[in-house]
């Protein structure tokens, strides 16, 4: 495809696989990240490392990989009382959603991503949203994203396409997708450089990467890895 994609790239496992997916398909790929006062800035810090390794180890991808955009969305921190941005326990809140939920966060991200894509001439937006390991985030639902695509196209008078390659696959299949896209080299980048742990732990190395091993994000990642290893 001769077109440009903008990947919502957080430095986590899912968005790294989405970045590889886009690099495999589009002629030009740019990345965007959002700094919103995450309690653990470690995920954002991983982004540069991941991009450097993709550039260094995948020459075909390096040729397509364009600029990285980081937007300051600290305003989200001032309007949210959540576990990621304040010292609140990570648990299921009274709304039935995890306290890690920043209301409407992905809608905000997609709006800003759309604005940057508009300026950069990118038609395709790529995000790692997923309904399969559903943690209750309503703005990760397929319907929310399809509605968002229509809203962006009407509001910006464009024909954006929002791609969510992980929407209907589980974490084991996400690892398998990484392997299909970039082999063991990409698996190694994901294990060593991507971050999922809610507690920002980078000191403890597991077969699936770094993290506390206890929080919901670590549990999900570990379970996915086990499923991936068990695949025939």
Q: Give yes or no for residue 83 binding Zn ion (CB under 5 A).
A: no
* β strands within 38-101, DSSP E: 65-72
- Residue from the set 20, 145, 197, 222 that interacts with Zn ion by CB under 5 A: 197
Q: Residue 28 belongs to what H/E stretch?
A: strand 28-35
Q: Give yes or no for residue 90 binding Zn ion (CB under 5 A).
A: no
Q: Give yes or no for residue 215 binding Zn ion (CB under 5 A).
A: yes
Q: Give yes or no for residue 84 binding Zn ion (CB under 5 A).
A: no
- Residue from the set 71, 156, 187, 212 that interacts with Zn ion by CB under 5 A: 212
Q: Give yes or no for residue 218 binding Zn ion (CB under 5 A).
A: yes
The residue among 182 and 211 lying less far from Zn ion, judged by its C-beta, is 211
The residue among 23 and 218 lying less far from Zn ion, judged by its C-beta, is 218
Alpha-carbon distance of 88 to 100, in angstroms, equals: 9
Q: Tell me, residue by residue from 140 to 179, as one string, x for binding to Zn ion by CB under 5 A and - for no binding.
A: ----------------------------------------
DSSP states along 108-160: HHHHHHHHHHHHHT--EEE----STT--S-GGGSHHHHHHHHHHHHHHHTS--
The residue among 41 and 147 lying less far from Zn ion, judged by its C-beta, is 41
Taking the complex as a whole, how short is the minimal distance between the CB of residue 198 and Zn ion, in angstroms?
Answer: 5
Evaluate the CA torsion angle 23, 25, 29, 31 in order and state its sign: negative
Give the range of 24-32, 84-92, 125-133, 193-201 binding Zn ion by CB under 5 A.
Answer: 193-201
- Residue from the set 166, 211, 222, 225 that interacts with Zn ion by CB under 5 A: 211
Residue owning tokens 């970039």: 182
* Six token digits for residue 32: 């965007």
Alpha-carbon distance of 196 to 13, in angstroms, equals: 7
The residue among 22 and 215 lying less far from Zn ion, judged by its C-beta, is 215
Nearest-5° angle of CA 46, CA 74, CA 164? 55
Strand partners, 70: 33
Give the range of 19-27, 109-117, 126-134, 207-215 binding Zn ion by CB under 5 A.
Answer: 207-215
Interface residues with Zn ion (CB under 5 A) are 197, 199, 211-212, 215, 218
């Amino acid at each position: 495809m001769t077109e440009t994609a903008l990947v919502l790239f957080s430095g986590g496992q899912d968005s790294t696989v989405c970045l590889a997916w886009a690099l495999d398909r589009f002629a030009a790929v740019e990345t965007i990240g959002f700094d919103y006062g995450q309690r653990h800035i470690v995920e954002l810090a991983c982004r540069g490392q991941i991009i450097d390794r993709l550039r260094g180890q995948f020459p075909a991808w390096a040729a397509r990989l364009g600029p990285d955009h980081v937007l300051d969305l600290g305003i989200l921190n001032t309007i949210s009382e959540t576990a990621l941005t304040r010292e609140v326990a990570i648990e299921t809140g009274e709304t039935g959603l995890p306290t890690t939920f920043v209301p409407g966060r992905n809608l905000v991200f997609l709006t800003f991503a759309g604005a940057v894509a508009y300026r950069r001439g990118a038609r395709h937006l790529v995000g790692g949203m997923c309904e399969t390991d559903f943690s209750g985030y309503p703005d990760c639902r397929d319907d929310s994203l399809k509605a968002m695509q229509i809203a962006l196209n009407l509001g910006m008078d464009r024909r954006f396409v929002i791609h969510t390659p992980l929407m209907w696959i589980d974490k084991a299949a996400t690892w398998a997708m990484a392997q299909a896209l970039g082999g063991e080299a990409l698996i190694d980048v994901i294990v060593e450089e991507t971050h999922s742990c809610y507690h920002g732990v980078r000191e403890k190395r597991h077969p699936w990467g770094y993290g506390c091993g206890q929080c919901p994000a670590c549990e999900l990642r570990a379970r996915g890895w086990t499923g991936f290893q068990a695949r025939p």
